[in-house]
């Protein structure tokens, strides 16, 4: 989200409904006040971005950090009668998107300010505070909202060659080659057209397609810039990884500089979100699903990616970045009901070659999940377990003593059963895999469902993309796709 808070530095203090609010480093272009004393409201407006922000406290239903794009007076207030003025209205929160919940007593003193990186911070200095991410706490507390400053203007460059390798099991990789005649793009050359543009850890985006029909296929951070020269040819190759680089290359570090973080009985998805914020991901680009699992965990002297892997294994989730730089922590996709393919690949039309693999490596006769109860004081924890059978085990001749055993933090039999059922459901897609090369379809994404029609293997089912490589030259666009079986097309209605 490209918004700048605090273009003009200043200090604004106001008191509404008994609550005192101090804004540091933020001088709003416009401000509105609601007179409804059940909610202490403060609004500030960014003229450049045409976005209105609200920070509230008092009434639990309305308290929080809110954002409204393209604001208007009519959207902000529900006017009770034509004779009433703006100040007589009641806040209409249906027009807003809540970014974070906050709750406080009416005497709390709060500060709202921006960091040098452009992030919005909310700090409570007294009383109690609540947020959906960090749980309940008392005393001083600071919450950071992941706004960023406006994105710098994009500088379009035409590439000679592009290769993108994308996967959900690792960061996507980019290699792109530009013409560099006369050192026009050499980063440290003072007279280059764009000095320091292709510099390490600068952001790079790739769009590919046919004619004017382009699609974003990569967003990430530059790893290296490599100018090279041969007689009659000057090029520069840029190597980059997607934003998962923030997790892979950085060691967990608190604001105080410590490399150990402890979570006490915190939901796994909330652990993931806080670690992602610490790594530098923007708050509005972190997408998580509830796991239903709370756990006490300590992460020490390890990368954020290592911690993410622990959290994924615990919940059978997956973590990855997409081509827009969004970070996901989601349930691994099983076979589902939505079968509409995003594209149909057909032998003789757009399939260049195809390999079909049927393998039992990741199949198990059954799954057993172990956990421990959460004992009362003075009692000992008991080992608990649950198991689930792989339904098509006889069809695939799975060995009867091939058993998957999972030791988890689950503290009830029901939670153990949920993990076991999830593990078995994931096996349904494991035995069948297709790898093929085809004419490039740049708007496809890892995770999309596709249909593959090929006569030698006899396949015609729905598959889900696991990984893909896209290679573009000046006159060609090809891709290789690895995918697993997702489901069967329904029989046509008679």
47: Cα separation from own chain's centroid:
28
Choice among 45-59, 313-327, 420-434, 435-449 with the minimum mean pLDDT: 45-59
Residue 151's pLDDT band (cuts 50, 70, 90): low
Number of helices followed by number of strands (H, E) in the chain: 5, 32
Residues 246-258 have pLDDT tens digits of 999 999 999 889 9
Beta carbons of 115 and 144 less than 8 angstroms apart: yes
pLDDT confidence of residue 3: 20
Residues 349-377 have pLDDT tens digits of 999 999 999 999 999 999 999 999 988 88
Query: What's the predicted TM-score (pTM) here?
Result: 0.63
Residue 457's pLDDT band (cuts 50, 70, 90): confident
- Averaged pLDDT, 156-176: 90
- Report the 10 Å Cβ neighbour count for 464: 20
- Report the 10 Å Cβ neighbour count for 366: 18
Residues 69-99 have pLDDT tens digits of 665 555 554 443 333 333 334 445 556 555 4
Residues 29-53 have pLDDT tens digits of 223 332 222 233 445 555 555 666 5
Helix (H) or strand (E) holding 452: strand 449-453
Question: What token pair was written down for 37?
Answer: 């004393």
- Averaged pLDDT, 333-345: 72
Q: What region, left, alpha or beta, does residue 308 occupy, with left being phi > 0 and alpha being psi -120 to 50 degrees?
A: alpha
With CA atoms as reference, report the closest residue to 328 among 319, 337, 340, 338. Answer: 319
Greater model confidence, 428 or 144: 428
pLDDT exceeds 50 at position 120:
no
Residues 287-316 have pLDDT tens digits of 999 988 888 999 999 999 999 999 998 888
- Cα 482 to Cα 469: distance, rounded to the nearest angstrom: 9
Choice among 62-76, 164-178, 410-424, 457-471 with the minimum mean pLDDT: 62-76
The 3-state DSSP class for residue 36 equals coil
The 3-state DSSP class for residue 274 equals helix
Name the pairing type of β-strands 286-288 and 327-331: parallel
- Distances in Å between the alpha carbon of 416 and those of 135, 272, 309? 24, 21, 20
């Amino acid at each position: 989200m490209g918004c700048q808070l605090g273009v003009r530095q200043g200090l604004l203090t106001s008191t509404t409904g008994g609550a005192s609010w101090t804004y540091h480093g933020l001088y709003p272009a416009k401000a509105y006040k609601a007179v409804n004393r059940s909610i202490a409201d403060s609004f500030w407006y960014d003229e450049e971005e045409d976005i209105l922000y609200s920070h509230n406290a008092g009434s639990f239903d309305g308290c929080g950090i809110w954002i409204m794009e393209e604001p208007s007076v009519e959207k902000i207030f529900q006017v009770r009668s034509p004779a009433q003025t703006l100040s007589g209205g009641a806040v209409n929160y249906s027009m807003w998107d809540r970014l974070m919940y906050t709750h406080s007593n009416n005497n709390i003193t709060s500060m709202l300010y921006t960091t040098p990186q452009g992030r919005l911070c909310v700090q409570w200095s007294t009383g109690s505070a609540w947020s959906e991410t960090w749980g309940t706490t008392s005393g001083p507390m600071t919450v950071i909202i992941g706004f960023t400053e406006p994105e710098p203007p994009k500088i379009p460059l035409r590439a000679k060659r592009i290769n993108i390798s994308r996967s959900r099991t690792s960061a996507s990789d980019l290699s792109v080659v530009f013409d560099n005649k006369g050192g026009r793009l050499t980063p440290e050359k003072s007279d280059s057209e764009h000095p320091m543009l292709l510099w390490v850890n600068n952001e790079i985006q790739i769009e590919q397609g046919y004619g004017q029909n382009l699609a974003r296929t990569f967003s990430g951070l530059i790893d290296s810039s490599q100018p090279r020269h041969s007689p009659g040819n000057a090029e520069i190759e840029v190597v980059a990884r997607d934003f998962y680089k923030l997790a892979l290359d950085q060691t967990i570090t608190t604001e105080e500089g410590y490399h150990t973080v402890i979570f006490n009985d915190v939901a796994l998805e909330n652990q993931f979100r806080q670690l992602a914020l610490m790594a530098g991901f923007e708050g509005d680009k972190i997408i998580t699903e509830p796991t239903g699992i709370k756990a006490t965990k300590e992460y020490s002297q390890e990368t954020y990616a290592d911690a993410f892997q622990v959290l994924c294994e615990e919940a059978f989730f997956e973590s990855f970045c997409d081509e827009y730089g969004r970070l996901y922590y989601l349930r691994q996709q099983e076979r589902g009901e939505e079968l509409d393919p995003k594209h149909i690949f057909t032998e003789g039309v757009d399939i260049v070659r195809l390999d079909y693999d049927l393998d039992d490596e990741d199949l198990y006769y059954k799954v057993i999940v172990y956990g421990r109860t959460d004992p009362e004081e003075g009692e000992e924890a008991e080992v608990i377990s649950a198991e689930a059978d792989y339904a098509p085990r006889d069809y695939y001749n799975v060995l009867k003593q091939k058993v998957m055993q999972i030791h988890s933090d689950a503290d009830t039999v029901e939670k153990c059963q949920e993990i076991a059922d999830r593990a078995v459901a994931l096996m349904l897609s494991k035995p069948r895999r297709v790898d093929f090369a085809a004419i490039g379809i740049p708007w496809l994404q890892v995770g999309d469902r596709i249909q593959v029609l090929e006569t030698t293997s006899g396949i015609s089912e729905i598959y889900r993309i696991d990984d893909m490589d896209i290679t573009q030259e000046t006159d060609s666009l090809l891709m290789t796709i690895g995918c697993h079986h997702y489901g069967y097309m329904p029989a046509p209605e008679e």
